Amino acid sequence: MTTTWRPLAVTLAIQALVAMALITVPVMAPVLAQDLGISSTYVGIYVGVVYAAAMLASLSAGAAVARFGAIRVSQVGLLLCAAGLALSALGSLPAMAVGALLVGLGYGPVTPASSHLLARTTPADRMSLVFSIKQTGVPLGGVLAGALVPPLLVMGWRGALLAVAAANLACIFVAQPLRAALDADRDPQRPLVLGNLAQPIRIVLAHPPLRLLAGCSFLFSIAQLSLTTYLVTYLHDILAYGLVAAGLALSVSQAAGVVGRVLWGYVSDRYLGARRMLATLAALVSACALLTAALNAAMPAVVVLVVLALFGASAIGWNGVYLAEVAREAPAGQASVATGGTLAITFLGVVLGPPAFGALSGATGSYRIGFVAVALALVVCLFALLRPLRKAGASLRSSP
């Protein structure tokens, strides 16, 4: 268990800090937009730029991990996230665009790198649970951003950005003592071939189970990032919540995502299996998106928080089950490459999803329409996951 615990602890911490770096700007979007004189819906473009860069970085992560080691690649990711936040603090739109690019380049390689470590050190019967615990780093970063960034705004939004950048830099030094042991499998002589970015995607497309998982992750990611990107703005602008109260509501949804990732990983390993678990979550996300669209300012806060907790538990809780299944289905020794390929498609959903959510909400004058669209997308995902399960069931019934 010790060999599993150390990689899990360090990858969890790194994942939480880079996730916090990504979510910081969406949390402060109402204040930042007012100061810069732009619409809050443009935060979707910021997130889209982040994930476009993350998509490219994830495709090149396998080669970088093989040569430099997963911990070193993750440390570089933390450094790039810190640099991106610091650049965004300059306050000009071009600087923020480049800052978003750097945050994405830092965020993208972290999950493939951690999958490489955990695939080597985790027993097969605990894969979903361990990967789910590691992936709690993403909603944990959201909890930290939602709880800490609004109070940090007393320093101004520039000061808040620099504070989160400093936390990412500190994590580099925390990870360093483990680097020698956890990067022992690196090959410094391995050619750093970053040009063949299509190879991870080819691996995914050549394996039908990976292809299905990647396609469904595209839709799940739209739901997850639409919730994370626009929840504070939705509560602030439509339900008249104060920024601190809206940030705490975001923290509740993200904390529920932490619980959900562990719970769904356990249920997947012990009872349902990955495909049935993902289908169940698709149905739950769709229902919660419709309930979120129906929220109004007259509802008791506890009702709003319960809905958002369920939404967060499902829309944020799917990743660990998904990533563990990718690692299982990947060709031998190709976990980081297959993860990079599937994540490129996952990130494509994030690149397209939040800007589309913002554009649809802006065009219709209602964030509620955006959440209804999310619900419909997850219905598509549900049917895609159920189809092979029905085929497998039919095959079993017809066999002698």
Give the distance between the most distant pair of CA atoms in the chain. Answer: 71
Burial of 279 (C-beta count, 10 Å sphere; 0-12/13-18/19+):
buried
Which phi and psi (to 5°) does residue 288 adopt? -70, -35
How far is CA 21 from each of CA 24, 116, 156, 382, 394, rounded to the nearest angstrom?
Answer: 5, 23, 16, 31, 47
DSSP H stretches of helix in 108-207: 110-121, 127-135, 137-152, 156-175, 179-182, 198-206
Residue 221 · residue 350 · CB < 8 Å: yes
Show Cβ contacts of residue 311 under 8 Å, excluding neighbours closer than 6 positions: 227, 253, 256, 285, 288, 289, 291, 292
Show Cβ contacts of residue 390 under 8 Å, excluding neighbours closer than 6 positions: none
Q: Please give the pLDDT value at position 311.
A: 96
For CA atoms 268, 273, 274, 278, the dihedral sign is: negative
Show Cβ contacts of residue 310 under 8 Å, excluding neighbours closer than 6 positions: 256, 284, 288, 291
Q: Please give the pLDDT value at position 191.
A: 65
Provide the token pair at 267: 């249920």
| pTM recorded for the entire structure | 0.73
Residue-wise over 177-202: b if at least 16 C-beta within 10 A, else e?
Answer: eebeebbeebeeeeeeeeeebebbbe
Residue 275 has what DSSP assignment?
H
What CA–CA distance (Å, rounded) separates 295 from 314?
A: 18
Full pLDDT tens readout for the chain, 400 residues: 445 577 778 888 898 999 999 989 988 888 888 888 777 777 878 888 888 888 788 777 777 887 888 889 899 999 999 999 999 999 888 899 999 999 999 998 888 888 777 777 677 667 667 777 776 787 788 888 888 998 898 889 999 999 999 999 999 998 898 888 877 777 777 766 555 667 778 888 888 888 999 999 999 999 998 998 889 889 988 998 988 899 889 889 988 988 888 899 889 888 888 889 999 999 999 999 999 999 999 999 999 999 999 999 999 888 878 887 887 787 776 776 787 788 778 878 878 888 889 889 888 888 999 999 999 999 999 998 888 666 544 443 444 4
Residue among 171, 203, 189 nearest 106 (CA): 171
Show Cβ contacts of residue 108 under 8 Å, excluding neighbours closer than 6 positions: 53, 54, 55, 56, 57, 58, 61, 77, 343, 347
What CA–CA distance (Å, rounded) separates 269 from 232?
A: 34
How far is CA 162 from each of CA 32, 68, 86, rounded to the nearest angstrom?
Answer: 14, 28, 6
Q: Please give the pLDDT value at position 169.
A: 96
Residue-wise over 49-78: b if at least 16 C-beta within 10 A, else e?
Answer: bbbbbbbbbbbbbbbbbbbbbbbbbbbbbb
What CA–CA distance (Å, rounded) separates 164 from 169?
A: 9
How far is CA 380 from each of CA 260, 283, 345, 386, rounded to the nearest angstrom?
Answer: 22, 10, 16, 10
